[in-house]
Structure 1
Amino acid sequence: MLSLLFALIDRFLLPARAAARAGWLREAIYAHRGLHGPGVPENSLAAAEAAIARGFGIECDVQRSRDGQVVVFHDRTLDRLIGQGGALADHTAADLAGMTLLDETGTAVPGETILGLRQLLDRIDGRVPLLIEVKSAPTQRIAPLCLAVRRLLEGYRGPVAVMSFDPRVAAWFRRYSPHVVHGLVVTEAGRRTLLARLKRHLALWRARPQFLAYDIADIANPVVRLARRRGVPVLTWTVRTPDDASRAATYADAPIAEGPVLLAAPAA
């Protein structure tokens, strides 16, 4: 009975007509944090250029520096990608711009530093589609970060969309910047209790996303099937293996991929 109720509300709140504006998302393969690897750090200019050279779209992560600037970085802390302790949010954008990124082997790559979102936008310049994942914390006010992202996107002419695990982000863009395509990132992460299901549906109902980015491990599910029937594009992450790629082709509209499976994908 509850599953039927969830499905009925999902059907009512998934914005099929608005999702038509996000249809271009189906037309690309997305490089997860850029086309990175040995000698090319994730979320770097080099990773962006490598993706552009192959004709891949780019997925990146953004968060806020101490002085309110939007920087391109995945982790909350600097340990893995910079090699020093501390939280990214404790540093200004200028501080971060002086920090050299490490590649996946832990080797510092000269000339590759933490980017501002403006730098990345200027480098891509509309040549390939861009997915911007907005990173937030449950206790964080999301309006300042969303507003900062929106301001940087003003005047940008390339295909771009924002997304987040936080449904407040999509809801903010729907209300205050509806011209920016906005989506919800979803994972079940093994949590399949009734309470976990309810939380996921509440996130969906609050976000009313124009597209979904769903965990490849959970991609075969009724929410995804309903979204695709209603014309809501479904991306899936992170596609790393041939089996992942096969599942993505069956259940989703476009993959967000990395590693050998991405390198094996045809160039645009």
Structure 2
Amino acid sequence: MTAPRLPLAFLQRPITHRALHGLDENCPENSRAAIRAAIAAGYGIEIDLQLSADGQAMVFHDDELDRLTDATGPVRARTAVELGTIALRHGDGECIPSFAEVLELVAGQVPLLIEIKDQDGAMGTNVGALEAAAIADLRDYQGDVALMSFNPNSMAEVARLAPHLARGLTTSAYDPLEWAPLSPARCDELRDIPDFERVSASFISHEASDVGCDRVRSLRAAGVPVLSWTLRTPAQEAEIAGLVDNVTFENYLSAFGA
């Protein structure tokens, strides 16, 4: 299978991490307000998807509701309707949006980088429902999109369900101390990005502090677009500018590539 090309738009403007949040106290991550702010600033947008109890793709980063809302427990224990009534902290009344709602809001105005969060728990093969839900929502969408996941099996499923969509691997140095409870053995397996060819990936989005590693340099030398996560200062950008093709950033206004 041939990898679809990553749309050029993903290399032409910096990408906001979980949309443009953190600069306004009423603009939490992955919120409609943060998405509107990113669009207004002309940035690309990265969002995260989790699955509802009734099989809908929801725009939310964590497995659990506790950090970002006053509710508790797993996202997957609530229906899409229930999740849509749960207010985001510091969101000025905003609640958890569905992926379909976000697509309607973005409407092709800026490129949309979609991270499918691991649903297996160990980067294994228990995937499929969230990928299918996301692709169903994207069926009639006309803007520039790309999907990615830390779990390579997720991207293999995207390749099977929607081979025309650009797909990538979110990658890391996989320090076992930072990735617990993921096993050290699985960290060792994932560190060298062994599944890139298997899933016919279009790009990688790699941990910024590790973009100088041999495997990332080799992929980029072979023409693979390398995005990076997550930049939090212009100084960090400057350090990796010659090693990546774009940045995913938060808590400042990026001018990468300008």
Normalised-by-shorter TM-score class: 0.7 to 0.9
Task: Name the residue aligned to 2:247.
Answer: 255
Task: Name the residue aligned to 1:75.
Answer: 62
* TM-score of the pair, normalised by structure 2: 0.87
- Aligned residues of 1:77 and 1:85 also touching (Cα < 8 A): yes
| CA distance, structure 1, for counterparts of residue 135 and residue 101 of structure 2 | 15
DSSP 3-state at the match of 2:137: helix
Task: Name the residue aligned to 1:35.
Answer: 20
Task: Name the residue aligned to 1:97.
Answer: 84
Task: Name the residue aligned to 1:160.
Answer: 145
Task: Name the residue aligned to 2:95.
Answer: 113
Task: Name the residue aligned to 1:106.
Answer: none
Residue of 114, 139, 145 corresponding to 1:132? 114
* Deviation, structure 1 residue 39: 1.2
Task: Name the residue aligned to 1:9.
Answer: none
Residues 194, 100 of structure 1: CA spacing in aligned structure 2 closer, same or farther, 3 A cutoff?
closer
Residue of 240, 248, 254 corresponding to 2:232? 240
CA-based RMSD: 2.3
Question: Given residue 120 of structure 1, which amino acid in structure 2 is its aligned partner?
Answer: V
Question: CA-to-partner distance for each residue in 1:78-106, whole Å, 9 max, x for gaps?
Answer: 11110232111110110111011013xxx
- Aligned residues of 1:34 and 1:43 also touching (Cα < 8 A): yes
Residues 266, 25 of structure 1: CA spacing in aligned structure 2 closer, same or farther, 3 A cutoff?
closer
| CA distance, structure 1, for counterparts of residue 163 and residue 85 of structure 2 | 35
- Aligned residues of 1:34 and 1:51 also touching (Cα < 8 A): yes
| CA distance, structure 2, for counterparts of residue 197 and residue 158 of structure 1 | 36
| CA distance, structure 2, for counterparts of residue 214 and residue 23 of structure 1 | 18
Moved more, 127-136 or 243-252: 243-252
More helix by share: 1
Residue of 190, 195, 200 corresponding to 2:175? 190
Residues 29, 87 of structure 1: CA spacing in aligned structure 2 closer, same or farther, 3 A cutoff?
same
| CA distance, structure 1, for counterparts of residue 235 and residue 160 of structure 2 | 38
DSSP 3-state at the match of 1:128: coil
Residues 100, 176 of structure 1: CA spacing in aligned structure 2 closer, same or farther, 3 A cutoff?
same
* Deviation, structure 1 residue 21: 4.2
Residue of 44, 53, 65 corresponding to 2:31? 44
Residue of 190, 194, 212 corresponding to 1:220? 212
* Deviation, structure 1 residue 194: 8.7
| CA distance, structure 2, for counterparts of residue 144 and residue 220 of structure 1 | 35
* Deviation, structure 1 residue 227: 1.6
Question: Given residue 235 of structure 1, which amino acid in structure 2 is its aligned partner?
Answer: L
Task: Name the residue aligned to 2:157.
Answer: 172
* Deviation, structure 1 residue 175: 2.3
Structure 1: tracts of 5 or more residues without a match: 1-14, 104-108
- Aligned residues of 1:23 and 1:233 also touching (Cα < 8 A): no
Question: CA-to-partner distance for each residue in 1:222-261, whole Å, 9 max, x for gaps?
Answer: 121122122211100000023321133121100000012x
